[in-house]
């Protein structure tokens, strides 16, 4: 059974930093492309980071709102995904979900098949 | 980026009655191999999103057969044949054909 467990959510001041973790199990983590998707209170879904699987180079991708502030990384030996968030803004407040982006480059059923329970990040003074 | 537009924003339905949600993309979602990467997600209140449908019409494991997806090109539909109380929540369409992945704004299904 696929399991994704986020941790690290907290209350942080604007301008501060926070690191989220996601421990994965039940699938081939190293080959999987992984993602972080966030949801502001009462709002829709927005991807904030995608990292390619090891076999595909492990390149990280970010949308404009977080590029230069967020860093996604992975420790395949620990089956763990991270999101380092720096220079946090109030608009970064929300629930951050760890999700499988696709199992590998050739996944025939790709795009977010499994999600964690989410980690709440609150950016406020 | 591809813009995904869902309608309606809110959908009050009577238990046991059908429901239909529309999703339109700003450009065709058919890729060079003829595949269409359009998925549907359900988010029940207080829960994480759950994928229901992948590649337009394929139900994920454990998804009841009252859920069905259809469409092609730029127009897609999620149908619930007979709404049950557990179907209350927000439904999102997501396209993966074109980088980057983009989400629809969501449709809230509630019981009348």
Tens of pLDDT, residue by residue over B25-39, are 999 999 999 999 999
Angstrom distance (rounded) from CA B15 to CA A9: 37
The rounded mean pLDDT for chain A is 97
Cβ atoms of residues B76 and B89 within 8 Å = no
The rounded mean pLDDT for chain B is 97
Distance from CA of B105 to the nearest CA of A (A): 6
- Check CB contact under 8 Å for B94 and A46: no
Interface check for A33 against chain B (CB to CB < 8 A): the answer is: no
Cα angle at B26 between B24 and B30, to 5 degrees?
80
pLDDT reading at A123 higher than 90: yes
Low-confidence ranges of chain B (pLDDT < 50): none
Q: Which residues contact B84 (CB under 8 A, 6 or more apart)?
A: B15, B66
Distance from CA of A104 to the nearest CA of B (A): 14
Contacts of A37 in chain B (CB under 8 A): 49
pLDDT reading at A105 higher than 90: no
- Check CB contact under 8 Å for B103 and A117: no
């Amino acid at each position: 059974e696929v399991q994704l467990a986020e941790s690290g959510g907290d209350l942080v001041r604007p301008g501060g930093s926070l690191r989220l973790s996601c421990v994965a199990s039940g699938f081939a983590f190293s080959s999987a492309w992984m993602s972080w998707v966030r949801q502001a209170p009462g709002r829709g879904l927005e991807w904030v980071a995608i990292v390619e699987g090891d076999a595909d180079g492990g390149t990280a991708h970010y949308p404009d709102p977080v590029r230069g502030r967020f860093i996604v990384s992975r420790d395949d030996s620990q089956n763990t995904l991270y999101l380092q968030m720096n220079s946090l803004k109030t608009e970064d407040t929300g629930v951050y979900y760890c999700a499988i982006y696709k199992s590998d480059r050739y996944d025939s059923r790709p795009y977010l098949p499994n999600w964690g329970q989410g980690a709440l990040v609150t950016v406020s003074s | 980026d591809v813009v995904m537009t869902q309608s309606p924003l809110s959908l009050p339905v009577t238990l046991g009655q059908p429901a239909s949600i529309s999703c339109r993309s700003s450009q065709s979602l058919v890729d060079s191999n003829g595949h269409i990467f359009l998925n549907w997600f359900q988010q029940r209140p207080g829960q994480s999103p759950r994928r229901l449908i992948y590649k337009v019409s394929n139900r994920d494991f454990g998804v009841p057969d009252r859920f069905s997806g259809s469409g092609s090109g730029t127009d897609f539909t999620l149908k619930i044949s007979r709404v049950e109380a557990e179907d209350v929540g927000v439904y999102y369409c997501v396209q993966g054909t074109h980088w980057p992945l983009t989400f629809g704004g969501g449709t809230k299904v509630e019981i009348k």
